[in-house]
């Protein structure tokens, strides 16, 4: 089944994403630099671009940069005077991402902040409210990150959280996998928090069986 999922993703990319070398160039750069191949798929990247455009985002927060693949999709959605702040813990990933984003022509819109995301978020007090937040970092901290996204956002802010199905592992209440435990804690938070309206969508494709949460700050 996995091969067919990949084939459908390839078909989608061929028919809807056009001839765009920049995303593939970033993936090649990431591989050459030894980064893990855990970026969103091309179709998911285009989805992020469209969602940010639909939200009219001018100020975007990303938690989890890796090599900047999803970052460049989001940065493209911004107007010329828009701004994206992306947080990354690994210094090597930070340098690769900065090079990739400059090469893709969007570096002037992006600030890559190095260090643990929890620390970077706690230090944010003077930024304008974020219109759009994409969370794709350590799953153990997802509930904390969403809480910070609410604090740093506004009524109407869009929040996307990736990797929330985990091959169905989210159903396992007895899991000892910290990523599953963190994801279940996130669902519990969303269930109880009146500040958010949210849903989750399962996905299959090049990245296997997973899914994302789409939420809106009330």
For the chain, the domain total comes to 1
pLDDT the model gives residue 172: 97
pLDDT the model gives residue 20: 80
Residues spanned by the domain of 194: 2-217
d(CA 8, CA 205): 7
How many CB atoms lie under 10 A from the CB of residue 208? 14
Supply 181's token pair: 């435990």
Using one digit for the tens of pLDDT, what is the confidence trace for 18-52?
778 889 899 999 999 999 999 999 999 999 999 99
Sign of CA dihedral 205, 209, 210, 211: positive
The residue ranges of DSSP E strands in 74-207, in sequence order, are 83-88, 110-114, 132-135, 158-162, 196-205
In terms of Cα–Cα distance, which of 116, 104, 107 is closest to 84? 107
The residue ranges of DSSP E strands in 7-65, in sequence order, are 59-63
Average pLDDT of the residues of the chain: 96
Using one digit for the tens of pLDDT, what is the confidence trace for 138-181?
999 999 999 999 999 999 999 999 999 999 999 999 999 999 99
Sign of CA dihedral 121, 93, 97, 11: negative
Judged by DSSP in three states, 67 sits in coil
Using one digit for the tens of pLDDT, what is the confidence trace for 107-121?
999 999 999 999 999
For residues 40-66, average pLDDT: 97
More confident: 24 or 95: 95
CB within 8 Å of 62: residues ≥ 6 apart: 70, 71, 74, 84, 85, 86, 87, 133, 134, 135, 136
Place of tokens 């199905």: 165
DSSP code at position 218: -
Please determine, for residue 15, whether its predicted confidence score (pLDDT) is greater than 90. Answer: yes
pLDDT band at 195 (very low <50, low <70, confident <90, very high): very high
Judged by DSSP in three states, 8 sits in helix
Please determine, for residue 1, whether its predicted confidence score (pLDDT) is greater than 80. Answer: no
Q: What is the largest CA-CA distance in the chain?
A: 48
CATH for 150: 3.40.50.150
pLDDT the model gives residue 64: 98
Please determine, for residue 205, whether its predicted confidence score (pLDDT) is greater than 80. Answer: yes
């Amino acid at each position: 089944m996995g091969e067919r999922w990949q084939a459908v993703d390839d078909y989608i990319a061929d028919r809807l994403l056009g001839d765009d070398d920049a995303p593939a160039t970033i993936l090649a750069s990431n591989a050459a630099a030894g980064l893990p191949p855990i970026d969103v798929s091309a179709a998911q990247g285009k989805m992020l671009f469209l969602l940010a455009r639909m939200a009219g985002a001018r100020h975007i927060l990303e938690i989890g940069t890796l090599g900047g693949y999803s970052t460049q999709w989001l940065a493209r959605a911004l107007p010329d005077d828009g701004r994206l702040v992306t947080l990354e813990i690994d210094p090597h990933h930070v340098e690769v991402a900065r090079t990739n984003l400059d090469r893709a022509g969007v570096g002037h819109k992006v600030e890559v902040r190095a260090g643990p995301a929890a620390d970077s978020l706690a230090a944010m007090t003077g930024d304008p409210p974020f219109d759009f937040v994409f969370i794709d970092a350590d799953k153990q901290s997802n509930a904390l990150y969403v809480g910070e996204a609410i604090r740093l956002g506004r009524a109407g802010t869009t929040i996307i959280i990736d990797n929330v199905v985990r091959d169905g592992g989210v159903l396992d209440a007895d899991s000892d996998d910290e990523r599953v435990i963190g994801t279940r804690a996130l669902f519990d938070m969303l269930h109880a928090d009146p500040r958010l309206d949210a849903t989750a969508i399962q996905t299959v494709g090049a990245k296997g069986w997973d899914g994302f949460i789409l939420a809106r700050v009330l």
